[in-house]
Amino acid sequence: MANVKGLKRTTKTLETVKTEFLALGLLQGQSLATVTAGLTRELRASVTAAAKIETFKGKSDECILVYGNADIKRIAVFGLGKKSELTTDDFRKAGARIMNRANGLKVKKITVDTASFALTSKLLLQAFTEGLMITGYEFLNYKSDKENEKTVQTVELLGKPDAAILKKVTALSKAVFLARDVSNHPANVATPTFLAEEAKKLGAAPGFKTTIIDESKFEALGLGAFYGVARGSAQPAKLILMEYKGGKKGDKPFALIGKGLTFDSGGISLKPGANMDEMKFDMCGSATVLGVMKAVAELQPKLNIIAAIGSTENMPGGNAQRPGDIVKAYNGKTIEILNTDAEGRLVLADVLAYVTDKYKPAKMMDFATLTGAVLIALGNRVSGIMGNDEALLAEIKRASENSGERVWELPLWEDYFGDIKSKIADIKNLGDGRMAGTISAGMFLKQFVGDTPWCHMDIAGTAWGAKKPEYLPKVGATGVAVRLVYDLLENQVK
Ligand code: BES
Ligand code: MG
Ligand code: ZN
């Protein structure tokens, strides 16, 4: 257990606290005396002297560290920058800087005086404490010698911050950790069956029901596109369904759909060898969904939710589908397979159509490491979104602002449909060569959602390997969009 365990609110003050590491914040231009007032005269003098030596002004890249006494062993004052220039995410980054500094000193417990960090709203308190928490993650499951770099286990908070926000942030952070963990496990461990077991664990929470549909049922259910992908693998594919009833009976659910390719070799259209190991992360969309549902299980929002994960490997086994094959999706559309490596859209096609038909969701969102093209278009700082409903897209952009999980919209104009027309079937699983690859994948998905207000998020660039902002891990999965989606869900509660 190397991850930070939680946030602890205390009634202690700067006068009474005992700690190995005390973090204070200072806005640029604010006088140091306003944040050190509660300290002893000796400690105040040490901090003032250090600030003078370092010409510390409270700029956002500045930090002074002072060694104190037996009660307060270290005091770190973090510059926050100018109040008028600070974004919500800057507060998250400030939390991350504290955590990284304390971990660098191998400290186990830290104390943060929230009153000194200019947290003028609940949103800023949430961002700041999220930054503290989600920076305290590392994945050590496969290290025999569990030498942890993230030593901080407890974060004690002075200044009486809002307890409900702390509860939410602790739950959300653990949800992000779950998403990162399931993603970081290798494909020989994190199989479709493993993901199904994770979903079953969540099924024990109040209001939850988990149902697993095995690959053996796919053809009879009409999930021909999903089945086509699943055929090439020895691991049985699973359609994982999680129903959460926290809202009124009869209220249409919000649907969350995840791509859960536990390994994508490309199938018969085999991928090149270089970096193929990274295709264990092709289930990160499903990890996002599991993470959100973990937060839902803990926080019990008053809302109905349906979560669905299409999970399989994409392998070139003897029974694998071939380029040229034609399959029929759940909604009756026929699809010509021109590249077996464009498998995510095939799995999602059936899951989207199935959920639309069975649950008639009010709104639907899917998460998928769908295209390499989104990395070319947007890099790894921002996820691509596209959809069929302006209001839902606007809600998502707002949740993105709140959570600091950036998104950028790409168009799904009707004329892109020409790119996915097949000569022999209704549609094909490829677009126009190398042109607009992320959009043609989105356009493909659009054929399976009917009139449901829907948004697709392509997280191929953001799900792993993005080391910035500083609250993301240096290696492995990021747990992208868990916090964004929870913010969006909260906004659905009437
Ligand atoms: N899982 C990949 C997309 C991917 C590629 C994610 C690189 C992250 C990094 C997806 O199944 C895929 O192989 N897509 C193809 C589609 C192409 C064949 C139209 C791609 O992007 O190359
Ligand atoms: Mg692929
Ligand atoms: Zn894939």
Cα–Cα dist 464/480, whole Å? 8
Same domain, 148 and 233: no
Same domain, 11 and 125: yes
Q: In this structure, is residue 168 part of a structural domain?
A: no
50-81 b/e with 16+ CB inside 10 Å = b?
bbeeeebebbbebbbebebeeebebbbbbbbb
Q: Is 242 exposed, middle or buried (0-12, 13-18, 19+ CB in 10 A)?
A: buried
Structure tokens at 451: 């009139």
Cβ(341) – ligand 1 distance below 6 Å: yes
- Per the CB < 8 A criterion, the answer to whether 98 and 112 are in contact is yes
Is 271 noted as a catalytic residue in this protein?
A: yes
Same domain, 342 and 428: yes
Cα–Cα dist 91/248, whole Å? 36
> In a structure prediction context, what are the per-residue pLDDT tens digits for the chain, which is 494 residues long?
479 999 999 999 999 999 999 999 999 999 999 999 999 999 999 999 999 999 999 999 999 999 999 999 999 999 999 999 999 999 999 999 999 999 999 999 999 999 999 999 999 999 999 999 999 999 999 998 877 789 999 999 999 999 999 999 999 999 999 999 999 999 999 999 999 999 999 999 999 999 999 999 999 999 999 999 999 999 999 999 999 999 999 999 999 999 999 999 999 999 999 999 999 999 999 999 999 999 999 999 999 999 999 999 999 999 999 999 999 999 999 999 999 999 999 999 999 999 999 999 999 999 999 999 999 999 999 999 999 999 999 999 999 999 999 999 999 999 999 999 999 999 999 999 999 999 999 999 999 999 999 999 999 999 999 989 999 999 999 999 999 999 999 999 98
Ligand 1 atom closest to 441 (CA):
19
Sheet with 6-9, strands from edge to edge, namely: 6-9, 154-158, 109-113, 22-27, 74-81, 63-67
- Per the CB < 8 A criterion, the answer to whether 334 and 420 are in contact is no
Among residues 129, 158, 187, the one where a domain terminates is 158
Among residues 131, 158, 185, the one where a domain terminates is 158
Q: In this structure, is residue 165 part of a structural domain?
A: no
CA 283 to chain CA centroid, Å, is 12
DSSP state of 432: B
Q: What domain count does the chain have?
A: 2
Assign residue 135 the CATH number of its domain. 3.40.220.10
Q: In this structure, is residue 163 part of a structural domain?
A: no
Cα–Cα dist 479/212, whole Å? 23
Same domain, 236 and 378: yes
Same domain, 143 and 211: no
Q: In this structure, is residue 129 part of a structural domain?
A: yes
Beta bridge partners of 264: 314
Same domain, 224 and 306: yes
Q: Which ligand is nearest to the CA of 463?
A: 1
Q: Which of 294, 328, 345, 428 is catalytic?
A: 345
- Per the CB < 8 A criterion, the answer to whether 154 and 109 are in contact is yes
- Per the CB < 8 A criterion, the answer to whether 255 and 291 are in contact is no
Among residues 94, 128, 158, the one where a domain terminates is 158
Q: Which of 245, 271, 397, 398 is catalytic?
A: 271
Is 44 noted as a catalytic residue in this protein?
A: no
Same domain, 48 and 189: no
Cα–Cα dist 128/18, whole Å? 22
One-letter amino acid for residue 231 of the chain: R
Same domain, 436 and 341: yes
How many whole angstroms from 455 Cα to the centroid of ligand 2? 21
Same domain, 206 and 234: yes
Assign residue 318 the CATH number of its domain. 3.40.630.10
Q: In this structure, is residue 164 part of a structural domain?
A: no
Same domain, 48 and 74: yes
Look up the domain containing 153 and give its range: 7-158
Task: Return the half-sphere exposure (C-beta side, CA atoms, 13 A cut-off) of residue 197.
Answer: 7
Structure tokens at 79: 């510059």
Q: In this structure, is residue 260 part of a structural domain?
A: yes
Q: In this structure, is residue 167 part of a structural domain?
A: no
Helix/strand/coil for 448: coil
pTM of the entire predicted model: 0.98
Same domain, 44 and 147: yes
Same domain, 50 and 100: yes
